[in-house]
Amino acid sequence: MKLHVARRSASLALAALAAATLSGPLRAQGADRGSAPGAVPYQTYDLPNGLQVILSEDHSTPIVAVDIWYHVGARNETPGRYGFAHLFEHMMFQGSAHVGKTEHLTRIEAVGGSVNGSTTEDRTNYFEIIPADRVNLALWMEADRMRSLAVNQTNLENQQKTVSEELRQRINNQPYSKAFLASQYTIPYEGMGCPGYAHPPSGSIHDVTAATLQDVKAFHATYYQPDNATLTVVGDFDPAQVKGFIQQYFGGIPRAATPTAVSCTVNYSAGFRMDTVQDTKANVPAVIWAYRVPPDSSADHFPLALLAVLFGQGQSSRMYRAVVNDAGAALQASAALSSRVGPSLFFGFALANQGVSADSLLTLMEAQVQRLKTDPPTEAELQKAKNTFEADFVEGRQTDLSKAEALQHYALFRPSLSEVNGDLARYEAVTVDDLKRVIDKYFVRANLSVVFDLPAKGGDR
């Protein structure tokens, strides 16, 4: 089973790319049965050691998803520690007190389940999809590695090699990947008062290989603790039984010191930024641009998300029709909203047609951004975007794992988990005036960063 650093939808377009043991009664916090399209019924509570638990019953199939998010990603890393969260994405499968090396994988697969993990800017997740009658196995193994992960020199050296090779083969050796990472991290965020976002979750080969056992033990002790995690269980289970398992397996794990909060601010008019990447793997130029926008929790997130659909999702979007169909300047073109706990990005990507320079392509793309101001989206365009968004929203909550991930997202990214079942109405309430407001506020050249990806041989701006 491959472990991976999670990438957002744009990567598809790139085609490459402690304290004392605590115990005691559970403290109930809330529940929501949900009634809107795509609603996810849930109940939530905290263990005394700080572990947040979210349960959601779905008896339609005899399957359960167990999904744990540790609230650590690239934004928590400091210079010299870039890639530590990604390193632990792998280290967490190297065994614990009662589970042998790689046994976490083999035990789950032996009962017909699947298991994986991923790392982003804001979190690292680990999940199992398992037959309903073996939910205790997944919970027990997650608790065992939370309590007693084997962080030793042998496992560290082994996974340093694994992560370094993954970075070389799956990221550094892929066309357009270096430019994509620059456009999403170093160019828009570097020097902007948001250092954690100025490097990719995949990390640095140098930092990972230079890490000492003391370094990684300190990182693990800080972030991989119950009070920095959320456990979500979705599917065909008996709540009373699962609560008993959770108390039994996780309840005695000690609380650790609360990690230092991440400070992150961005200036939305700091000046135009640009970089060029010489790419030996690319055959034609690519252009990636990004506007810095507010966090996922901002009220502006809702019109920006619909604007991304209207402007850059699919062949009927404004940018695709103008740049690919009408001008014939690009093989593909898209735009998306990359949402984060901190300041996010609204970005566009285009792959140039033969003979089209990156400069010419950027000019065409910028013209479409400006057209949003001179020829604003219509009510009909907005309604079409809402229809598309709602269909994707509801479809994205069909499986136990997708529901678990939705619950996790709202628990971490939003002020209240209850928004998981009220959000669709907020998207539906967006008006054309809302779109105009965010276009005028964020789509300014002083807030724009651009990366050109040029073929190392023969490419020309």
What are the tens digits of pLDDT across the range 339-356? Answer: 999 999 999 999 999 999
pLDDT at 184 (0 to 100): 96
CA distance 58 to 81: 40
Least confident of 10-19, 35-44, 115-124, 373-382: 10-19
Exposed (0-12), middle (13-18) or buried (19+): which is 22, by Cβ within 10 Å? middle
Q: Are 358 and 278 in contact (CB under 8 A)?
A: no
Range(s) of the chain covered by CATH 3.30.830.10: 10-250, 273-455
pLDDT at 461 (0 to 100): 44
Percent of the chain as helix, strand, coil, to the nearest 5: 45, 20, 35
CB atoms within 10 A of CB 196: 22
Q: Which of 64, 318, 342 is nearest to 196 (CA)?
A: 342
Q: How many percent of the chain have pLDDT more than 90? A: 87
Confidence band, pLDDT 50/70/90 cuts, at residue 5: very low
Confidence band, pLDDT 50/70/90 cuts, at residue 9: very low
Least confident of 17-26, 300-309, 386-395: 17-26
* The pair of three-digit structure tokens given for residue 194, joined into one six-digit string: 């948001």
pLDDT at 171 (0 to 100): 86
pLDDT at 34 (0 to 100): 61
Q: Does pLDDT of 215 surpass 90?
A: yes
pLDDT at 23 (0 to 100): 30
Domain at 10-250: CATH architecture: 2-Layer Sandwich (3.30)
Q: Are 320 and 350 in contact (CB under 8 A)?
A: no
* The pair of three-digit structure tokens given for residue 303, joined into one six-digit string: 């019109």
Specify the 3-state DSSP secondary structure of 316.
Answer: coil
Can you tell me which residue has the tokens 């990567």? 11
Strand partners, 384: none
- Radius of gyration over alpha carbons of the chain, in Å? 23
CB atoms within 10 A of CB 408: 24
For 230, the enclosing helix (H) or strand (E) is: strand 229-235
Strand partners, 99: 96
Can you tell me which residue has the tokens 């907020």? 426
In whole angstroms, how far apart are CA 450 and each of 13, 149, 291? 17, 42, 9
Contacts of residue 173, Cβ cutoff 8 Å, sequence gap at least 6: 281
CA distance 178 to 367: 26
CB atoms within 10 A of CB 325: 12
Measured in Å, how far apart are the chain's first and last C-alpha atoms?
42
pLDDT at 31 (0 to 100): 72
pLDDT at 196 (0 to 100): 93
Single-letter amino acid, residue 103: E
CATH topology of domain 273-455: Cytochrome Bc1 Complex; Chain A, domain 1 (3.30.830)
pLDDT at 388 (0 to 100): 97
Quickly list H helices, 9-64.
Answer: 10-14
Q: How many percent of the chain have pLDDT more than 70? A: 92
Specify the 3-state DSSP secondary structure of 321.
Answer: helix
Single-letter amino acid, residue 444: V
Q: Are strands 27-32 and 42-46 parallel, antiparallel or unpaired?
A: antiparallel
Can you tell me which residue has the tokens 């700080």? 50
Average pLDDT, the chain: 91
pLDDT at 313 (0 to 100): 96
Exposed (0-12), middle (13-18) or buried (19+): which is 7, by Cβ within 10 Å? buried
pLDDT at 14 (0 to 100): 38
Average pLDDT of the residues in 159-165 = 96
pTM over 0.85: yes
pLDDT at 29 (0 to 100): 59
Confidence band, pLDDT 50/70/90 cuts, at residue 19: very low
Average pLDDT of the residues in 143-163 = 97
Q: Which of 253, 456, 289 is nearest to 361 (CA)?
A: 289
- Between CA 2 and CA 5, with CA 3 as vertex, the angle to 5 degrees is 130
> Phi and psi for 116 in degrees, rounded to 5?
-165, 180
CA distance 119 to 69: 10
Average pLDDT of the residues in 211-232 = 97
192 vs 388, higher pLDDT: 388
CA distance 196 to 460: 33
- Report the length, in residues, of the chain: 461
Confidence band, pLDDT 50/70/90 cuts, at residue 4: very low
